């Protein structure tokens, strides 16, 4: 017997087994349906189905929800602090003029912290510079400097964010912003 023939015979056997199982299952369902119907007695020739009462239910009571003021919780995960708040060398600048920013961050935790990103951000735009892959030992602080030329007039706020995975970004504890008015 060849390998092809044995596969063919196996397929036929499974096919017929499936048909037999289907037939037996249909007969099983029919017997259950018949068992749920009362058999007629001689006094009443009609068949009445057996009625199974549904379980009793209680009305769902929805509790009253009250506003609880948000209380920020400290976590050992968020140990990056801004100890030297972000500052700028100019609070007023002309369009296209360079504005310099400085900030100092610290790892206030008890373990080394690896930061994949420390980014400068501003209102009306995305980040304008990131320091990548910085290890901060426990208690270590680090000074960051960056500059920006704003292309449009307006009032801008600048702040920093940090991340450990490049996806989730956080502001440091005790973070601040620097304001710049561009003419």
Q: Phi-psi category of 119—alpha, beta or left, where left has phi over 0 and alpha has psi -120 to 50?
A: beta
Q: Estimate to the nearest angstrom the gap between the alpha carbon of 126 and the chain centroid.
A: 22
- At 61-72, the pLDDT tens digits run 555 545 444 444
pLDDT at 5: 83
The beta strands (E) that lie in the chain are given as 80-88, 92-93, 98-107, 113-122, 129-136, 141-149, 154-163, 169-170, 178-182
Burial of 16 (C-beta count, 10 Å sphere; 0-12/13-18/19+): exposed
pTM above threshold 0.75: no
**Confidence band of 58 (pLDDT split at 50, 70, 90):** low
């Amino acid at each position: 017997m060849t390998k092809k023939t044995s596969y063919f015979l196996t397929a036929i056997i499974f096919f017929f087994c499936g048909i037999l199982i289907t037939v037996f299952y249909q007969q099983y369902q029919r017997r259950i349906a018949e068992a749920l119907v009362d058999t007629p007695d001689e006094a009443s020739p009609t068949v009445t189905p057996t009625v199974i009462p549904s379980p009793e239910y209680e009305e769902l009571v929805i509790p009253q929800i009250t506003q609880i003021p948000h209380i920020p919780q400290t976590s050992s995960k968020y140990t990056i602090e801004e100890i030297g708040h972000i500052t700028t060398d100019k609070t007023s600048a002309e369009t296209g003029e360079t504005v310099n920013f400085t900030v100092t961050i610290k790892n206030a935790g008890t373990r080394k912290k690896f930061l994949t990103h420390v980014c400068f951000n501003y209102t009306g735009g995305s980040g304008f510079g990131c320091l990548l892959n910085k290890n901060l030992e426990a208690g270590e602080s680090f000074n960051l400097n960056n500059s920006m030329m704003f292309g449009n007039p307006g009032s801008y706020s600048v702040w920093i964010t940090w991340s450990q995975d490049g996806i989730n970004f956080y502001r440091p504890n005790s973070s601040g912003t620097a304001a710049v008015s561009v003419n």
